[in-house]
Amino acid sequence: MSKSSPATQDGYLRIEHVTKRFMGVTAVENANISIARGEFFSLLGPSGCGKTTLLRMIAGFEFPTEGAIYMDGQDMSAVPANKRPSNMVFQSYAIFPHLNVHDNIAYGLRRLRLSRREVNRRVEEALAMIHLPGLGKRRADQLSGGQRQRIALARALVNRPKVLLLDEPLGALDKKLRESMQLELRELQRSVGITFVFVTHDQEEALSMSDRIAVMFKGKVLQVASPRALYEAPNCREVADFIGSINFFEATVRGQEGGDVILEAAGLGTVRANLPAEHGFISPGARVIAAIRPEKILLLADGNGQPGQSAVGVIGAHAYLGDRDHLQVALSGRKEPVAVAAQQIERALTARFDSGQKVTLGWDKAAMLVLPG
Amino acid sequence: MMATPRRIQSPKTARPSIGLMIFAIAYLVFLYLPVLFLPVFSLNDSAFIKFPLEGFTTRWYDEALSDQNMIAALMNSLKVGAISAVSATFLGLLAAKAVTRYRMRGAGTAMGVIMLPLFIPEIVLGISMVLLFDAVDLPLSLVTVTIGHIMLTVPFAMAVLIARMDGFDKSLEEASLDLGESAWMTFWRVTFPLVLPGIVSSLLLTFIVSFDEFLIAFFLGGTDMTLPVYIWSQLRFPAKLPSVLAMGALILVASCVLVVLAEWLRRRGVSDEAKKGAIGI
Ligand SMILES: Nc1ncnc2c1ncn2[C@@H]1O[C@H](COP(=O)(O)OP(=O)(O)OP(=O)(O)O)[C@@H](O)[C@H]1O
Ligand SMILES: [Mg+2]
């Protein structure tokens, strides 16, 4: 079920050992990413983790302190922004305020010395693509946020770049518009087949749109993987924590048995888990972290728990959320309660579980993740 | 009787006290009444500047405009003002671009040095420049006046242009580069149109500062006279006074028009979020 990330195909856009330091601040540290042609790739991470800095280095607005960036096999180190085969959609959209919509979109076409008719044709085509036909004469200050966003997109795509860079392009839109733009953007990317590098700090946005995601944290790229792999098989505590919600348990390795690893976890006792794909950190006595997502914990009838894959606790808070129930279950030997998300299927069961009642928790051993401590 | 709840007035709608009003009016009268004498007496049919007024005439204007020396001085002032304004605005634009767009070592110090003429008494500036030009054997003339005025007006130009450059999103210039334009074309297609209102208001402002300036023009002019220096030299001859007033009145009107124009242009071009900042001097 939890396979590691797919092979990094041809590496159309390669970021190799890239470090960027600003006067003492290390904004990006030894980033290594290889992005395939036509891929929808996201840079995801909390505020200040270096996403924009990395994107600006790809665009050519900043140059790496160390390392190099390759596009289509060509080293970009000495190539200025205006000579790169990439275009950018800025966070602020950067629509030229002194030009109308048509002139904004046609801005990058001047160098191509096309006939006026050809320019008009391409601009109209771009306006149709973003579903804003006939808007060419509109002044830049007469546009809504959503329209500005689309025009910034059209202005970049009309140049037919090899790589499109987008810095939180949906951040300024309201929730509803953002959700419809997510779908539209994904559709657009599929139809034009251009490589997208998309920056966001919204994990749901990244999961729903991307082919692959690089999770960044304090300047470091922690994991590069498909959305499914990031969620199902995070490689460290930070990634597991940033994507979705999860319960962590301090644990000590007892040993290995078959393909499994046996842990002693605070609050759970002896636990059996699958050996993680990269398991260099597992040796008897090593401190590790066991982790499990709330929806992977099942509520069992008393006595149904399997050894190594169950625990007994007492129900604390209980919240009804319509499609699911959230429970806080206290375990002995652990301060924090364990979060459990019970789906509708178990409703009949949860109805019987009120606060203060004893309950048995169970899980599949594949759901128990083992992360470096 | 019903108790009406007390209205809490916001500071903006609160009326100023009577005392404050009287003070404000007295202040304005004190400030502008002498200036009003200028047009009034320039139209008075008497060679003497005293009340009561004698009657309406335009002959002082005829006299002013037919005084060849006065016209020559006016032309000198216009020339010096125009060259100073263009040079100071050009230098100010380069400095503003450097300060707002590049991270440089010593930028703060450089700014301080450039802004310094605003804070040095003009008489000190004037004398030290006389010494300097003497040392390099440059004869005092309109050329030296112009050099002095450029030094004096660059800070004004910079203040206006930095405010303007800071007023728009830097990613606009990056977007232009990203769309394939060179740094030079980016300047022409994006930066220049956006700072244009600032450039115009800088030209007007620096022109007026140079046009009005007396001390440096007096020290550095040698035998060449700008209009303020000429007017000062004529004050010794009472008969010339009314025509000086007439010229003064003309300049007053022209200055007012220019200042209003400059401020109007500055506001018109500035986007809403940047409107709050004044010229910034
Ligand atoms: N020009 C700069 N000079 C100095 N430090 C910078 C510069 N640009 C970025 N930094 C620093 O580098 C770090 C990463 O910044 P960056 O803008 O890349 O983060 P981000 O992930 O895009 O954050 P956000 O989600 O808030 O946009 C921050 O600590 C920031 O202060
Ligand atoms: Mg950012």
| Neighbour count for residue A1 (Cβ, 10 Å) | 9
**CATH number (domain holding residue A252):** 2.40.50.100
A234 and A319 both lie in a single domain: no
pLDDT recorded at residue A351: 57
Residue B8 lies inside a defined structural domain of this protein: no
Residues A190, A266 share a domain = no
Checking ipTM against 0.90, whether it exceeds it is no
> At B101, which CATH number?
1.10.3720.10
Per residue in B106-141, pLDDT (tens digit) is 777 878 888 888 888 888 988 999 999 988 888 888
Q: What residue type is B270 in one-letter code?
A: V
User: Can you give the pLDDT at residue A38?
Assistant: 92
Q: What is the pLDDT of residue B177?
A: 94
- Both A182 and A40 in one domain: the answer is yes
Task: Provide, as residue numbers in chain B, all residues whose Cβ is less than 8 Å from the Cβ of A110.
Answer: 181
Sequence-distant (6+) residues with CB within 8 A of A319 are: A325, A326, A327
Residue A346 DSSP one-character state: G
Shared domain for A234 and A264, answered yes or no, is no
A159 at the B interface (CB within 8 A)? yes
- B82, with CB counted inside 10 A (0-12, 13-18, 19+), is middle
Average pLDDT, rounded, for chain B: 82
pLDDT digits (tens, 9 = 90+) for B19-63: 888 998 999 888 888 888 888 777 877 777 777 777 778 888 888
- Between chains, do B178 and A80 touch, taking CB under 8 Å as contact? no
pLDDT of residue A23: 86
The structural domain count of chain A equals 2
Is B167's pLDDT higher than 90?
no
Say if residues A51 and A216 touch (Cβ distance below 8 Å).
yes
Distance CA A193, CA A183 (A): 15
Domain-embedded: residue A163: yes
Q: What's the pLDDT score for residue A344?
A: 60
CA-based nearest residue to A240, from A287, A272, A282, A203: A203
Final residue in a domain of this structure, among A238, A257, A292: A238
Q: What percent of chain B has pLDDT over 90?
A: 27
Residue of the nearest CA to atom 12 in ligand 1? A27
Select from A238, A254, A269 the last residue of a domain.
Answer: A238
Is the domain of A193 the same as that of A306?
Answer: no
Distance CA A217, CA A47 (A): 9
Is residue B206 in some structural domain?
A: yes
The domain in which residue B241 lies consists of 57-279
How is B106-164 classified by DSSP, letter by letter?
THHHHHHHHHGGGTS-HHHHHHHHHHHHHHTTPPPSHHHHHHHHHHHHHHHHHHHHHHH
pLDDT at B64 over 60: yes
Q: State the pLDDT at residue A34.
A: 94
Q: Are residues A178 and A76 in the same domain?
A: yes
CB atoms within 10 A of CB A4: 13
DSSP B191: I
Q: Is B214 helix (H, G, I), strand (E, B) or coil?
A: coil
Residue nearest to atom 16 of ligand 1 (CA): A50
Range of the domain at A357: 245-372
Given this model, what pLDDT does residue A347 score? 54
What CATH number corresponds to the domain at position A115? Answer: 3.40.50.300
Distance from the A308 Cα atom to the nearest Cα atom in chain B, whole angstroms = 56
Q: What is the mean pLDDT of residues B5-28?
A: 71
Kindly report the number of other CB atoms within 10 A of residue B210's CB atom: 28
Report pLDDT for A342: 83
Stated pTM of the model = 0.78
Does B23 fall in a domain?
no
A146 and A181 housed in the same domain: yes
Same-domain check for residues A35 and A154? yes
B169, A92: Cβ pair inside 8 Å? yes
- Decide if B180 and A61 are in contact by the 8 Å CB cutoff: no
Task: Establish if A7 belongs to a structural domain.
Answer: no
Q: Which amino acid belongs to residue B198? A: G
- Indicate if the pLDDT at residue B269 is higher than 70: no
Alpha carbon nearest to ligand 1 atom 22, residue: A52
Buried b (16+ CB within 10 A) or exposed e, B222-250: eebbbbbbbbeebeeeeebbbbbbbbbbb
Per-residue pLDDT at B104 = 72
| Residue B40: per-residue pLDDT | 79
Pocket test for ligand 1, best of A19, A20, A21, A25 (most atoms within 8 A of CB): A25
- CA A47–ligand 2 middle distance (angstroms): 7
The residue from A218, A238, A258 where one domain ends is A238
pLDDT score recorded for residue A161: 92
Residue A330 neighbours by CB distance under 10 Å: 16
State which residues of chain A have pLDDT below 70: 1-10, 344-353
Structural domain includes residue A44: yes
Same domain? A212 vs A259: no
CA distance A14 to A11: 6
Number of domains in chain B: 1
Going by pLDDT thresholds of 50, 70 and 90, the confidence category of residue B278 is very low
B68 part of a folded domain: yes
A310-320 vs A358-362, strand pairing mode = antiparallel
Ligand nearest to the CA of A27: 1
- Whether A130 and A105 map to the same domain: the answer is yes
pLDDT score at B212: 86
In this structure, are A192 and A292 located in the same domain?
no
